[in-house]
Structure 1
Amino acid sequence: MATFGKKLNIVLVLLGLAMAPAAFAQQAPQYSQYIFNELVINPAYAGSKQILNINATYRSQWTGFDGAPTTQTISIDGPARNKSLGWGLHLMNDEIGVQRQTGAYLNAASRISLDRFSTLALGLAVGASQYTLDGTRLRPGSEMPDMAVPQTRVSQLLPDLKVGVFFNTERYYAGLSAASLIPFKDSETDISTPRRHYFLSSGYLFDLGRHMHLKPSILIKEDFRSPTGVDLNVFLLLQRVVWVGASYRTAVPMFTKQEMKQLDKRNALAVMAQVYATPRFRVGYSYDITLTELRNYGSHEVSLGYTFLQKKYGRILTPRNL
């Protein structure tokens, strides 16, 4: 009975987050391998590697748990003919419980060379998302339905806007971005939409030898209404072919006095690897171990990437490590 009680509590938490638009906003999709493709969190990243890249990601969170989140993304970015400009396209589909978000974004970034080795980029992403809530799949716990939750399948197409700043050198990077910048009041939508999110990221690449490099990084996620999300990451690059590393994810009440429960802390440990099977093609995998009541349900994330290498001055341009 105790185990059943815990599962019931978890179900209620998931249902509350996903299906109560009057009280909660849908959370931004969760990724572990954004470290290898920051376009999913920062539009100013578009074209930063100066080479055309295509990335695809599939994430199954809390695998085996009914109604748990699943996310799929496809992104492409590269430089324009004018090397100071970058462009990108990001497609995503995110589903949790009976609610789904499907979105498409066009990214544009303007890159300013500060000196020979450092660049500052300003980015903008415009797009739209289709939000769907299938109320026919809900199973109310009482005979009286909650009038705040639709009893039928409802869907809305809403515009969206993201902005970002991205600074990088050959070894260091830092980015700041904001997503879901177009606000909607509860009276304007029938279903919940993501609240405004801010992302602050930074990392550095250290040499540990001729064929080994260390890359620590951090990501801070903030919406100023719930605990601040913090990702601490560390990776090794071996022979410039294999990345192996780990990420620790937690949450701290930096800008809110909200009392944190175990699930609010969102503590998790992710281990991941990325391999360049060829100079053009890479494969990545991560496994998240949740350190909360959902610890029995791991999360899997698979990514594929393809780079269109270019020749310049008689040599092949290869992807930058950052």
Structure 2
Amino acid sequence: MKKIVITKILFLLSLCIYAQQEPQYTQYMYNPILVNPAYAGSKGHTSVYGLYRAQWVGLEGAPQTINFSMNKPINASKLGYGVSVINDRIGPSDEAQIAIDLSYSLFFGNDYRLAFGIKTTANLLNIDYNRLNQYNPGEVVLQNNISNRFSPNIGAGLFLYNKKGYFGVSTPMLLDTKKYDDIANTDVNQRYHLYFMGGKIFDLGSNIKFKPAFISKIVSGSPVQVDLSTNFLINEKFTLGAAYRWSASLSAMAGFQINDKLFIGYGYDRETTKLSGFNSGSHEIFMQFELFENFCNCETPRFF
């Protein structure tokens, strides 16, 4: 019975952590629309992105994330829009999210643009307690699975950019939603996250471009999370880079521009915390497809 009680406590604590933390990505710089709606349409053409992330491989119930997104400008206007679908699984919980983004851009000198964006999301939460390992399989420990619990939300963002760099601030979910857990008889709060991001491109020669970038996430009641990354683009084809998530992990990244339209990439994270002894790291693969319209005069490949 003591083991069962401890298991329940640990599980409920993990639910709280999960509810307050949105999915994290190592290669965030290639698809900022996931956290900043103002990015929609900023490339000047249709951009399609897909990603799969397996976090903490080897740890039972570790997070797995799949996302797919598309964004493009609206012809002959200052507007852009995007659609994203995300599925995030951790332990017995499975959450799906559909988001629609809309942006409006202002044009300034030196090719600078300032975009304002809004995001609307619909979330469906499922929790199957039967996935939990029980010490006494014949004893009912947890009941009342959660099925398709719906919660809407809204978000907003700013994105300042030109051909050589960008800076953004956003909060994908402005509302603090409560997901009632009738087993624990308490509320699990999903708090809003505030993101800051930025990056700059430096030409180191005719065949090498260097891009340092960062993203910072602030959540009430949790430590500030900061990701620092460096990427090198070689011969407009190969990308090599590294990243550091403050007091959490080290990462290596690589990518290849197959042609003007298709880019694929891979990232590997290794924990620097005590958790490293319980998993073999995190893996992240993605693809990015660019569809250039006839009216688009765009640089390719673009670094963000």
Normalising to structure 2: TM-score of the pair? 0.87
Structure 1 residues 50 and 24, CA gap change in structure 2 (3 angstroms): closer
Q: How does 1:222-237 map to 2 (within 5 A)?
A: 222-237=218-233
Shift of residue 197 of structure 1?
0.4
The 8 Å contact of residues 177 and 190 in structure 2, kept in 1 or not, is answered as no
> Of 33, 44, 47, which residue of structure 2 is paired with 1:39?
33
Structure 1 residues 317 and 169, CA gap change in structure 2 (3 angstroms): closer
1:306 aligns with 2:299: no
Quote the residue 2:146 is aligned against.
154
> Of 242, 249, 272, which residue of structure 1 is paired with 2:253?
272
Shift of residue 318 of structure 1?
2.9
The 8 Å contact of residues 191 and 220 in structure 2, kept in 1 or not, is answered as no
One-letter code aligned to 1:105 = A
Quote the residue 1:3 is aligned against.
none
Shift of residue 169 of structure 1?
1.4
The 8 Å contact of residues 56 and 73 in structure 1, kept in 2 or not, is answered as yes
Quote the residue 1:197 is aligned against.
193
> Of 68, 87, 97, which residue of structure 2 is paired with 1:103?
97
Quote the residue 1:258 is aligned against.
none
Quote the residue 2:302 is aligned against.
320
Shift of residue 195 of structure 1?
1.7
The 8 Å contact of residues 212 and 238 in structure 1, kept in 2 or not, is answered as yes
Aligned residues: 291
Structure 1 residues 73 and 14, CA gap change in structure 2 (3 angstroms): farther
Structure 1 stretches lacking a partner, 5+ long: 1-10, 251-264
Structure 1 residues 229 and 281, CA gap change in structure 2 (3 angstroms): same
| Farther off after superposition, 181-190 or 287-296 | 181-190
Shift of residue 192 of structure 1?
3.7
Residue aligned with 1:115, SS: coil
Structure 2 stretches lacking a partner, 5+ long: 1-6
Distance 1:15 1:48 in 2: 41
Instruction: Output one character per residue of 1:61-112: Cα deviation in whole Å (capped at 9) or x when no partner.
Output: 0112110000000000011013411110010000111112100011100011
Structure 1 residues 66 and 24, CA gap change in structure 2 (3 angstroms): closer
Distance 1:182 1:160 in 2: 6
1:131 aligns with 2:125: yes
Structure 1 residues 100 and 215, CA gap change in structure 2 (3 angstroms): same
Residue aligned with 2:294, SS: strand
Structure 1 residues 13 and 288, CA gap change in structure 2 (3 angstroms): farther
Distance 1:14 1:73 in 2: 28
Matched residues, percent identical? 31
Quote the residue 2:161 is aligned against.
168
1:211 aligns with 2:207: yes
Shift of residue 317 of structure 1?
5.4
Distance 1:218 1:13 in 2: 35
4+ runs deviating over 6 angstroms: 11-14, 141-146, 188-191
The 8 Å contact of residues 53 and 307 in structure 1, kept in 2 or not, is answered as yes
Shift of residue 218 of structure 1?
1.1
Shift of residue 54 of structure 1?
0.4
1:29 aligns with 2:10: no
